[in-house]
A = this chain, B = another copy of it.
Amino acid sequence: MAAKARKITTVEKKLIGVADIVIDAAQRRRDPTFAIPVRSLSNVTFDEKKGLIELGRRKQARSFFNVGMAKKFMQTVLVADALCELQRANLTTSLREIYYRSKHTIKNSHENTLDTQDESDPLIEDLEVTLAALREELHVRAENAGSVVGPLVLVDDGDTVDCARLGKGGYSVPSIVEPEYLDIRRCTADFVLLVEKGTQWNRLSEDKFWRTHNCVLLTGNGQPPRGVRRLARRLHDEKKLPVYVLVDNDPWGYYIYSVIKQGSINLAFESERMAIPKAKFMGLSSADPEAYELPRNVGIKLNDKDVARAKELLGYTWFQKKDWQTEIKRMLSSGLKYELDALANKDFQYLTKKYLPHKLKEKDWLD
């Protein structure tokens, strides 16, 4: 045990508050009850002004003396206790390990506190939203799942990491990039380029695109994980950098962009600290195949699922801007989607040497 007095974190205080509710109610012989914000679609709105998908104000009571809620109440307290342990020991862990840590057979019974992880995961989300603490602040991490290179100096665990001096491989973006863990010491880039797929990130890293165009190159190898989104958001907020998003031209690519920009419906309560409403869509646009003369045979036929998804996107409030309606409808009427990889049909370095420089020069992006 450390001898020096430990400072109790704000989050720890909030978690202790969960126990206090129980103790307090017991002393007053009342039914202990939490008020948990409702996380269903009906309680989600899009704030046009802020450009964010947000959670509304509706709350739900979860009380102990209610046959239908008692077990869930007990589980919530157990999970809060495990999260509190993380704060006290200053450790991070995964959703899965919290499940295992909180799993016990209840004394004198054959019943487990939790049977599957499906029971503990939503409770962690409940606590996130009730306590207004990001998952990362609760010390819950996912896997490292992204890479970054560029003129960016970070301090991670006391080590100064210069992302301009890590070769082609770059720095492996941790799952938790909160200021408590990762300090953005310096960044002299002009913008952040957030690339959907690792293969284009590798192309750009290999070609030192970040040096010729003075940017931070970021990827999450697919749908960007929370750590990558938070890092982009922090660079946007703290270093005032514009964020450009580069995805495949398909409904999935549009969706990835929209989650980066205004958050997602499922995790609406996090938009305020995860979303980047000013992010721009750099491409691939459905106008690009013609503009950059990609042959039709490198396009891929839209399947029924693509068409249905694109039509759904057309209906979303945040895709109502005229340019976006044109963008999506043009894809639908062409009947084709295009991957960024298809640019290689012209030349292996077409992305680095022609496509992106032209897009940047012409400010050819969508908002």
Interface residues of A (CB under 8 A from B): 85-86, 89, 91-94, 96-98, 100-101, 103-105, 112, 141, 143-145, 147, 154-161, 165-175, 181-182, 197-199, 201-203, 206, 221, 295, 297-298, 339, 341-345, 348-349
Given A143-B198, A159-B167, A160-B165, 16 additional A-B pairs, CB 8 A: A85-B348, A91-B349, A92-B206, A93-B344, A103-B297, A103-B298, A104-B297, A141-B199, A144-B170, A145-B198, A155-B167, A161-B166, A161-B169, A167-B182, A171-B171, A175-B202
In the assembled complex, the CB of A86 is this many whole angstroms from the nearest CB of chain B, namely 7
Given the known inter-chain contacts A112-B297, A167-B158, A171-B172, please indicate yes or no for A199 contacting B96, CB distance below 8 A.
Answer: yes
**CB pair A166 B156 closer than 8 Å:** yes
Q: How far is the CB of A158 from chain B (nearest CB, A)?
A: 7
| Contact between chains at B92 and A202 (CB < 8 Å) | yes
**Nearest CB of B to A159, in Å:** 4
- The residues of B that contact A170 with a CB separation of less than 8 Å are 144, 172
Assess the A172–B174 pair: CB atoms within 8 A: no
Rounded to whole angstroms, the CA-CA distance of A204 and B77 in the bound complex is: 28
Checking B103, B112, B202, B298 against A144 with a beta-carbon cut-off of 8 angstroms, the contacting residue is B202
Q: How far is the CA of A345 from the CA of B349 in the complex (A)?
A: 50
- Residues in chain B near residue A97, CB distance under 8 A: 199, 341, 344, 348
- A145, closest chain B residue (CB): B221
Chain B residues, Cβ within 8 Å of A298: 100, 103
Write the chain B residue with the least CB distance to A101.
B344
Cβ A348 vs Cβ B86 within 8 A = yes
Q: A86-B348, A172-B147, A202-B144 are in contact. Are A341 and B167 (CB under 8 A)?
A: no
Q: How far is the CA of A308 from the CA of B176 in the complex (A)?
A: 39
**5 A-B residue pairs with CB within 8 Å:** A97-B199, A100-B339, A154-B167, A157-B167, A168-B181
Instruction: Among B103, B159, B201, point to the contact of A345 (Cβ < 8 A).
Output: B103
Q: Lowest 3 A-B CB distances belong to which pairs? A: A156-B167, A143-B198, A97-B344
Complex alpha-carbon distance, A156 and B345, angstroms: 28
Given contacts A97-B199, A202-B143, A348-B97, contact A166 B174 (CB under 8 A): no
Cα(A157)–Cα(B167), bound, Å: 5
CB distance from A314 to the nearest CB of B (A): 29
Residues in chain B near residue A96, CB distance under 8 A: 199, 339, 341
Q: Which residues of B contact A93 (CB under 8 A)?
A: 199, 203, 344, 348
Q: Is B143 a contact partner of A341 (Cβ separation < 8 A)? A: no
Contacts of A197 in B (CB 8 A): 143
Q: List the B residue with the shortest CB-CB distance to A147.
A: B172
CA distance A202 to B345 in the complex (A): 39
